[in-house]
Structure 1
Amino acid sequence: MLNKEDYEEPRCVLCMNPKSRIPVDRVLEKYDSYIEDKEYERAESHIRYWLEEAKVGGDEAGELTMLSELMGHLRKNGIIDEAVSVASSTIAKVDKFGFSDTITGATAILNAGTVYRAAGKNADSAACYEKAEKVYEKELDEKDDRLGGLYNNFASALTELGEYEKAEEKYLKALKIMDGTKNGKLECAITYLNLADLYEKRDGSEKAESHIDEMLEKAYNLLTDDSVEKNAYYEFVLDKCIPAYDHFGQFIRSAELKSRIGIK
């Protein structure tokens, strides 16, 4: 069935009431359904359509949310240069709109940080995460999974910058939060693999062998847990985790994970 973003152009600004809010929850729900069905082009068109609707309607919060989704979509699909461009403009708009101390603004900056990290801009990434952390720690419950996600991403940037003790501290904070949340087992698996990477970088593969093996085993047990929902996000996570097992020479586990998502 066609949706209106498939055939309509965004409305003219002169035809809209000021501060016309876009239906963010429904927009994101529809986006998720496109991703679940692997309709990635329609998913991107959907976000771009509602981004324009937010702009012409003067919905600044909606615009920042759509920009956050767009840069994340571009990053996940390997369109890094455009994602970096969107990230940079989004950071400027957070300040321009006066959203620096809000969850919406902090989330946009966090997502920009993740784009910078994907582009190898780890110092810029860490700076974004630090800004978001100040807002999240003030405004969110200490068990909120968004805070756990921030700690995980922040730690990855710190690891690349060689700040291993700070990184380990944030990974451990992330584990405490993510355990028991939606997709918590998958998020914890990612964190364990990140810790394995940290230990290798900090201590060397030989000295850290026992720690690395422990982290890989914990992650594998979570990735193969029968209670984990097998959906598009599960496939995405496994696809991102498999190279870690190849890297550390655990090819049997790598093969099992590949078989779960149809990779030969």
Structure 2
Amino acid sequence: AVQIKTDLPAHIPNVEVDLTQMQMVLSGLIANANEAIEGHGRIEISAKDKDVDDEFAKGRPGLKPGHYVCLVVEDNGKGMDEEARNRVFEPFFTTKFQGRGLGMAAVYGVVKNHNGWISVESELGKGTVVRIYLPCAEVMEREMEEPRGELVRGTGTVLVIEDEGVVMDVTREMLDNLGYYVLEAKTGTEAVKTARAIGGDIDIAILDIVLPDMSAKDIYLVLKKACPNVKVIVSSGYAIDGPVQEILDAGAQGFIQKPFSLASLAKKVNEVLQEK
């Protein structure tokens, strides 16, 4: 059994974040920690107010002096060796079979986009500690006065091809809320089987760029053969280059970078469905 302990003070400064993205980050880190534990273990989640001065920031490249909330996810699982630890934020690097690596490059990207800083400390057999520093936000009452745009809702059948359970769950929930009927495939084989069985009833597919059994381009080509009219959005935590660009060049209609917000997903799906 895995025991989860939390230390989350009620009176802690606000941070200004995209709620959906940060939910995916935290869920992913906890899932990683859980996967790293064999048998009994513990996961500790804590947050605290932290003033970073010049001296503290000096030994942490990229961290600027200021007022932060420090979020910590710690486990006593397998841990990582030095090579894995040094590469954990590299695009397409995974140590999944060692219990770690769920979208850590994407996690890094989200934290950096929030002007934050992240570190990973780990040692084989001694567990892992992930620390995320997020700048404290000033209370901005004007945000309460600014009306938010209406979400673009729709109808149709969406095939989500994604092997990471956390990302699949969040994506399905968002699409459900937007009015779409969602089909799931966690591998290329499942996606192909679904496409051949359902065919023309699939309006759009959201295709993750990294899957365990087939290349994303091969999946795309088979999808288009089974469902000639299906529209495809390529999904990745990385920029539009390499494998992503290849699929776009082959005819995919759009790209969305993970982790995405509800508003950006709603907009992208609607845009692609409206294309002639």
TM bracket (short chain): under 0.3
Question: RCO (CA 8 Å, sep 6+): is it higher in 1 or 2?
Answer: 2
TM-score w.r.t. the length of structure 2 is: 0.25
Query: Whose helix fraction is larger, Structure 1's or Structure 2's?
Result: 1
Q: Which has the higher strand share?
A: 2
Give me the TM-score of the superposition, normalised by structure 1. 0.26
